[in-house]
Each structure stands twice: as structure tokens, then as C-alpha cells.
């Protein structure tokens, strides 16, 4: 048995990053978790595009899916909703720019999306990058 480590960029509407302004919230494209993965993590980076202000903060949530939970074979996957999902990171570019954090991913799910939201009082554009890494036994 061998262990394989793979990484891939998390996409934001076909881009490698997303720009957030005051109060903006964005979902990433869905990331499928490979069957056989036993460890997963997401690296998040927030890069302030100006001189960091006190409220230049991004909240990060992971929205998991176990597929179609309502039992409709024609339905798409259901994901946790942002108001009910757990906050996994709060990145403050005023205290450190760029701000980076690694977040563990529960690989017992089918897929996930990253949800990022800028503070309503943010003064600058905040550029967010994310990369998913998993270890798979083969």
C-alpha cells in the first residue's frame, strides 16, 4: 500500500482567486473529495490589495455536502448553509498581511465549498486564494 499526496487549486467561478470588498460574500466552486482520502486540508490566503485597515477581515466557512439529502434523483447536491455552517477561520490582514491559515477538512463527505465573507466595514479589496490538499491510500 502506498500513500499519495495531491493538491489542487480551489476555483472561484473559474478563477484561482476572488476579490472581496466591504460586506461581499462568495462561494467557491464545489471541490470533490476523492474516495480513499484519509486526510484533507485547505490552505487559505488573504492578501490585502491596499494599506491594511482595522476592519480588513475575512471570515471563512466550509460548507459540506453528502449529495442529494432530499432523495430526489434529479436534484443536485445539497450543501450546508452559511448561517448554519461552522466558522473555521477569521483572517485579519490588519495584524498580518498576507494572512494565511491551514484548515482541516472532514474527508467523510462527498464534497465541499469554501464560503468567504468580508467585514462590512472593510476598507480595501481583499484577494482570497485557496488550495485543497489530500492524502489518499492506494
In this prediction the pTM is 0.92
The grid coordinates listed for 45 are: 490566503
Measured CA to CA, the distance from residue 48 to residue 121 in angstroms comes to 14
With b for 16 or more beta-carbon neighbours within 10 A and e for fewer, the 84-110 pattern comes to: ebeebbebbbbeebebeeebebebebe
Count of CB atoms within 10 A of residue 117's CB? 18
Average pLDDT over all residues of the chain: 93
User: For each of the chain's 138 residues, which pLDDT tens digit applies?
Assistant: 799 999 999 999 989 999 999 999 999 999 999 999 999 999 999 999 999 999 999 999 999 998 777 776 666 788 999 999 999 999 999 999 999 999 999 999 999 999 999 999 999 999 999 999 999 987
Which residue do the cell numbers 464545489 mark?
30
Spell out the domains of the chain, with CATH numbers in brackets: 3-137 (2.60.120)
Measured CA to CA, the distance from residue 92 to residue 50 in angstroms comes to 14
Amino acid at each position: 500500500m502506498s500513500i499519495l499526496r495531491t493538491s489542487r487549486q480551489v476555483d472561484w467561478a473559474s478563477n484561482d482567486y476572488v476579490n472581496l470588498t466591504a460586506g461581499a460574500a462568495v462561494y467557491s466552486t464545489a471541490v470533490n473529495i476523492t474516495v480513499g482520502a484519509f486526510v484533507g486540508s485547505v490552505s487559505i490566503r488573504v492578501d490585502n490589495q491596499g494599506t491594511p485597515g482595522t476592519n480588513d477581515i475575512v471570515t471563512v466557512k466550509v460548507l459540506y455536502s453528502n449529495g442529494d439529502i432530499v432523495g430526489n434523483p434529479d436534484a443536485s447536491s445539497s450543501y450546508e448553509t452559511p448561517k448554519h455552517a461552522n466558522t473555521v477561520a477569521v483572517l485579519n490582514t490588519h495584524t498580518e498581511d498576507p494572512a494565511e491559515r491551514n484548515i482541516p477538512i472532514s474527508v467523510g463527505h462527498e464534497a465541499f465549498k469554501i464560503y468567504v465573507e468580508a467585514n462590512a466595514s472593510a476598507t480595501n479589496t481583499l484577494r482570497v486564494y485557496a488550495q485543497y490538499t489530500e492524502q489518499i491510500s492506494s
